[in-house]
Amino acid sequence: MSEVATTYEAGAHSALQHHFENMEQQREAGTLGMWVFLVTEIMFFGALFLAYTIYRYQYPAAFASASNHLDIRLGAINTAVLIVSSFTMAMAVYSTQVGKQRNTIICLILTMILGATFLGIKAIEYHDKYRDHLIPGQLIPGHPFNPAVAKPGDTDEHKLHLVEGATVHNVELFYWIYFAMTGLHALHMIIGLGIMIVLTIMAWRGRFGPEYHAPVEISGLYWHFVDIIWIFLFPLLYLLGRHLEGRIG
Amino acid sequence: MEEFTIPKPPRTNYLNAEYGLKSWLLTKDHKRIALLYLGAISFFFFIGSLYAMAIRLELLSPQGDLVQSSTYNKMFTQHGIIMVFFFLIPSIPATLGNFLIPMMIGAKDLAFPRINLLSWYIYMLGGIVTIYALLAGGVDTGWTFYVPYSTTFSNSYVIATGLGIFINGFSSILTGLNFIVTIHTMRAPGMTWYRLPLFVWAHYATSLIMILGTPVIAITVLLVALERLAHIGIFDPAAGGDPVLFQHLFWFYSHPAVYIMVLPGMGVISELIANFSRKNIFGYKFVAFSSLAIAVFGFLVWGHHLFVASQSVYAGMIFSFLSFAVAIPSAIKVFNWTATLYKGSISYDTPMLYALGFIGLFTIGGMTGLFLAALAVDVHLSDTYFVVAHFHYIMVGGTLLAYLGGLHYWWPKISGRMYPEGWGRFSALVVFVGFNLTFSPQFILGYMGMPRRYHTYPADMVSWQVLHVLSTAGASILGVGLLIPLFYLIWSMRYGRIAEANPWNLPGLEWQTASPPPTENFLITPVVTQEAYEFAPPEHKEVVGKFERQQRTEI
């Protein structure tokens, strides 16, 4: 053990901060810090998941109707986009570890493009909701929640098709949770993109290598976490009423 | 003849390493950040105390003759918000914890010094937003922000205050994160988990609550603000929402938050009891793990705040049982402290006086908590002064006394100067007397039915007024008792006797470096070979006494 310790001390890396003994300790601290941070994030989203669970249990019909109005194609495409972005992120971490600087930069840029694509598609979805007057409460002044409800037999996609037992009030509650959760998720994506820009610049300047790759690894953890949140959000928000398809209309 | 001089510690320490405002505001040294927190927290404590005095003055007489009821509502709300979020929660962790955890584990700094500084700026930003809300018109919802009053009916600055608390929460999260990572990864060689001082164990448990609980209050306050702003209906029954959901989310954080306040205090007391009895603590592992047990149980008892809020009686029974269960780890601590005192070489210095006060007051506070955890008794005592007295015994009698005790104990290390011992003991006694006179009458008042948060009471209830007058008199004494340390601690920074590196002659790692310590804490990374509180290892011939080292044969 002592030999290992001395070799680390002998070749102190320029990125080693003064209060750490060696790079290994610094990397461990950073990684553990990110894991602890992700735990706080789970609790942060957790309150919203709790609200979702309680209200879905109380108003299953309204939640199914509201969920059916979401665009499942866009949601599914976004899920695929995000999973691929997690793959490119993992490749960025790998390339850094083996010291392939060019591949790191390419993978980081690909991840950013995919992340931006996700946000673009999300923006289209938000706009559709805005058009259909589905923004809850007075979140946007002068544009209150006021969707057109479809009559039986009406197949207009822009109108809200209510399952038996659902009220517009409770549909509003679903949309409120939808916007809170996807909005918070999108905010995390935007922060992630910011981190990625910094990483790309650092990689461009050749700061990373086999001895020093902790920042890419740690940011990778964050990106995968944001991805996983979406993996939960997609079925909870988009798929929950699909089995009731036949009963609508 | 050659003159022999005792080598002096290096003259450069963390206080005089750099000068100027910038060197403080941009510092990454955990010890300086602790002092930044100390200043800010003292300021908020002062503001909160002013509100407390105003409340006590109003209650001197049965009529509402000092302030109107709406003003009174703002006063107790602001007293609660400032004291809970800006004093009690950060008090011990952000000052003493920040200063001492790296020193106790033999590290040069916390794992993330920049995040540590950031947490102070976040705290200040949250504080400034809250102060703005108070100056702009204040807030009158009670520190609990219960809906629908806070979302629909209150005409005060709920959103601004909520924003202040939301921001402040992140400072708490970052402090907790920093402590956990530091304790895991930064321990000196030989500093195993079971050699950690119990202060560190207590802070580890506290940090767990901070990182698990605080995000929930942050999102809850955010929901209240959005509900108030846009009426989206999540807590509004008119739109299908549930106001009791708010209470569940609020207390899921705010009950564990009580343990954020008292656990670090228990850590301080473990240090004081062991060190001023000059004995190894009785049942080290039990005291260490009881901190974790309190943190875990603490998350499972929030429902005891909802006994009279439409919660099902079966849920109530479970929460009641679990609340009783918290008494077990708490009692383990009290019994172990008492057993440590047994046959100890006890010295009654100021920190020890605070520690002994803590044990008594915490016991009363904890036992009255059991009254409130009992379903039937709680129906009678809910929202009375009994509750007020109970939690002040924990928060003031517990946390504040531990904070003051710890501040005196480590003051030589922090400032490099001794505080005046005579004044210290005197003020500790004044605080103890004043505290008991303030809050013990409130138990009786509450039992007799005086509701909390009322600014008037029936004029023909003479006994109520007598008790209120006693309580106000006690608050004045308590106020004086708290002002004395404020003056002499500031005085001692310049005029106090110079402290040696180890003025109490103790084995703890933080005492093995200069007072005040150098910026990097230890000039050479220490190697730990002893258990914590090892006053008389059997193989040593010398026994560490308070004033001099003695040979074993002499005692």
How far is Cα A81 from Cα B416, in angstroms, rounded to an integer? 59
Asked if residue B8 has pLDDT above 60, the reply is no
Of A7-21, A78-92, B205-219, where does mean pLDDT reach its minimum?
A: A7-21
Asked if residue B299 has pLDDT above 90, the reply is yes
Residue of A nearest to B522 (CA): A19
ipTM: 0.89
Token pair 């040069």 is found at: B108
Q: What is the pTM of this model?
A: 0.92
Q: Which one of B220, B223, B239 has the shortest CB-CB distance to A173?
A: B239
Confidence class for position A11, pLDDT limits 50, 70, 90 = low
Of B141-155, B226-240, B361-375, where does mean pLDDT reach its minimum?
A: B226-240
Dihedral sign for Cα atoms in the order B338, B339, B342, B346 = negative
Contacts of B216 in chain A (CB under 8 A): 43-44, 46-47
CA distance A160 to chain B (A): 18
Question: What six digits make up the tokens of A213?
Answer: 């790759």
Closest-CA residue to A177 (of A90, A54, A77): A54
Inter-chain contact A54–B245, Cβ cutoff 8 Å?
A: yes
Inter-chain contact A173–B240, Cβ cutoff 8 Å?
A: yes
Q: List CB contacts of B241: < 8 A, sequence separation 6 or more.
A: A55, A173, B233, B234, B235
**Percent helix, strand, coil in chain A (nearest 5)?**
70, 0, 25
Q: Which one of B178, B216, B239 has the shortest CB-CB distance to A172?
A: B239
How far is Cα B298 from Cα B323, in angstroms, rounded to an integer? 8
Check residue A7 and give its pLDDT: 40
How far is Cα B136 from Cα B542, in angstroms, rounded to an integer? 63
Question: What six digits make up the tokens of A216?
Answer: 């890419």
3-state secondary structure of B4: coil
Pairing of strands B542-544, B549-551: antiparallel
Contacts of A180 in chain B (CB under 8 A): 223, 226
Other CB atoms within a 10 A radius of the CB of residue A217 amount to 18
How far is Cα A39 from Cα A30, in angstroms, rounded to an integer? 14
How far is Cα B29 from Cα B116, in angstroms, rounded to an integer? 9
> E-assigned strands of B510-551?
542-544, 549-551
3-state secondary structure of B426: helix
Of B87-101, B344-358, B537-551, where does mean pLDDT reach its minimum?
A: B537-551
For chain B, the distance separating the N- and C-terminal CA atoms, rounded to the nearest angstrom, is 38
- Please state whether the peptide bond connecting residue B516 to the residue before it is cis, i.e. omega within 30 degrees of 0: yes
Q: Which one of A32, A48, A172 has the shortest CB-CB distance to B184?
A: A32
User: Within an 8 Å CB–CB cutoff, is residue A46 touching chain B?
Assistant: yes
- State pLDDT tens for residues B60-97: 999 988 999 999 999 999 999 999 999 999 999 999 99
- Give B438-477 as a DSSP string: HHHHHHHHHHHTPBTT-S---TT-HHHHHHHHHHHHHHHH
Closest-CA residue to B290 (of B326, B246, B264): B326
Longest dimension (CA), chain B: 94
Per-residue 3-state assignment (H helix, E strand, C coil) for B189-218: CCCCHHHCCHHHHHHHHHHHHHHHHHHHHH
pLDDT, averaged across chain A: 88
Asked if residue B105 has pLDDT above 50, the reply is yes
Question: What six digits make up the tokens of A182?
Answer: 């996807």
3-state secondary structure of B70: helix
3-state secondary structure of B550: strand
User: Within an 8 Å CB–CB cutoff, is residue B29 touching chain A?
Assistant: no
User: Whats the size of chain B, residue-wise?
Assistant: 555
Q: List CB contacts of A214: < 8 A, sequence separation 6 or more.
A: A26, A27, A30, A31
Inter-chain contact B211–A48, Cβ cutoff 8 Å?
A: no
User: Within an 8 Å CB–CB cutoff, is residue A146 touching chain B?
Assistant: no
| In contact, B512 and B106? CB cutoff 8 Å | no
Asked if residue B6 has pLDDT above 70, the reply is no
Confidence class for position A243, pLDDT limits 50, 70, 90 = low
Other CB atoms within a 10 A radius of the CB of residue B23 amount to 12
- State pLDDT tens for residues B118-149: 999 999 999 999 999 999 999 999 999 999 99
How far is Cα B128 from Cα A137, in angstroms, rounded to an integer? 30
Q: Which one of B213, B230, B238 has the shortest CB-CB distance to A139?
A: B230
Residue of B nearest to A145 (CA): B232
CA distances from B544 to B81, B159, B164, B196, B534 (A): 45, 56, 49, 20, 9
Token pair 């379903």 is found at: B375
